[in-house]
């Protein structure tokens, strides 16, 4: 792996982490009840929602910067 590729990946991770609060707010997912973890199917559904919300969060930031 080249240093340039590693730097790009680290940049993407930082961007994701910075947008995570906005992403989770857009996704609007409830927290798990204490002592009652999510099922595998529920986690898959939540992951899909978070991916979609992340795309929207990135679009919002791009529009705000313009």
In this predicted structure, the answer to whether residue 1 has a pLDDT above a threshold of 70 is no
- E strands within 1-66? none
The CA-atom distances, in angstroms, between 35 and each of 32, 38, 55 are: 8, 10, 31
Q: Give the global pTM.
A: 0.83
2-35 pLDDT tens trace: 889 899 999 999 999 999 999 999 999 999 999 9
In this predicted structure, the answer to whether residue 38 has a pLDDT above a threshold of 80 is yes
> In the predicted model, what is the mean pLDDT of residues 36-57?
97
CA 57 to chain CA mean position, Å = 9
Model pLDDT, residue 17: 96
């Amino acid at each position: 792996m080249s240093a340039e590729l590693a730097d790009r990946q680290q940049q993407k991770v930082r961007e994701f982490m910075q947008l995570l609060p906005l992403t989770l707010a857009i996704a609007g997912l409830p927290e798990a009840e204490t002592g009652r973890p999510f099922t595998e199917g529920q986690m898959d559904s939540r992951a899909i929602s978070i991916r979609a919300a992340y795309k929207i969060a990135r679009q919002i930031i791009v529009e705000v910067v313009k």
